[in-house]
Amino acid sequence: MKIIKTSILALFFLLPFVVADLRVNFYTATCPRAESIIRQLVQKRFATDSSITGALLRMHFHDCFVRGCDASILIDSTKNKSSEKSAGPNLTVRGYELIDEIKKNLEAACPSTVSCADIVTLATRDSVVLAGGPNYAAPTGRRDGLVSNPDDVNLPGPSFSVSQALRSFTAKGMTLNDMVTLLGAHTVGFAHCNFFQDRLSNFQGSGSPDPSMDPALVSKLSTLCAASNNPTTFLDQNTSSTFDNQFYNQILFKRGVLQIDQELASDTSTAGIVSGFASNGVRFSQSFASAMLKMGSLHVLVGNAGEIRKNCRAFNPAKSKN
């Protein structure tokens, strides 16, 4: 029965449609192998590193929630100009080398055609599918941005309350349901100890661990974080490498690693959504696909706006006016 449901779900999200000025199969005429090239390279990476799904989801979110989905997060800082990569929340974002590899292969097949913004979007979708998540048709046609400024990076933090996080989401046109859904990406996520260590011993200056965290998890994470190299742990302590709804079940059992994750289960505005997703994986998958499509269309550049970068890490050289 589960296989039948998954097949129906995949078929539902493969139906073509248009979001804003983006469209499914945008590159059919100009670079027909674009999506298959991206998919093959993501499959190759996933085969040796399944954590790439969480890395790409984080990269995609951190890109779209700043200036829109314009690949501004991919720009390297130079000695004269810092980029979004140098902002605190982005220092532990990873997966850039996979985007570089994909871009190199696409440039060989179809020079100056496929945007870095679309590469991030499609690679993220493909990695979610490989981890067991929903397969949805992702509209393309984004252009790459011309600005990358660390001062623009203002993302909801791991210690935010639900109301604080919601303000960040509603400012982008996202709903409460979208927020709870997208945080469900933590089912394949991971975090460094510095993002949650305050919950383990001196929560909010109390001198004690966060009472909303399962004591067994406190003990486990305290041992892990005693190391000096700021190690990481999975945010879903059950099915860590599988994209499913178990993250919601974990936070119902007080096993949320990040404060914002755990508060989703206790805040009256979100507890019902959490319970619904915890008991119905298909509902979560449907909601996740919809929320990803919505996020992927935030403030996109289309038409002649922006550019198609030849190197995702750098803006194209200015064209001579002579």
List residues with catalytic annotation: 62
| Residue 63 labelled as part of a binding site | yes
16 among annotated binding-site residues: no
* 48 assigned to a ligand binding site: no
Residue 158 counted as an annotated binding residue: no
Q: Taking a C-beta distance cutoff of 8 angstroms, is the pair 264, 152 a contact?
A: no
Does 261 count as an annotated binding residue? Answer: no
Contacts of 218 (CB under 8 A, 6+ apart): 199, 200, 209, 210
Is residue 198 marked as binding? no
66 marked as part of a ligand binding site: yes
Q: Is 187 annotated as ligand-binding?
A: yes
- Write out the binding residues: 63, 66, 68, 70, 72, 84, 156, 186-187, 236, 239, 244
- Write out the binding residues for substrate: 156
- Write out the binding residues for heme b: 186
- Write out the binding residues for Ca(2+): 63, 66, 68, 70, 72, 84, 187, 236, 239, 244
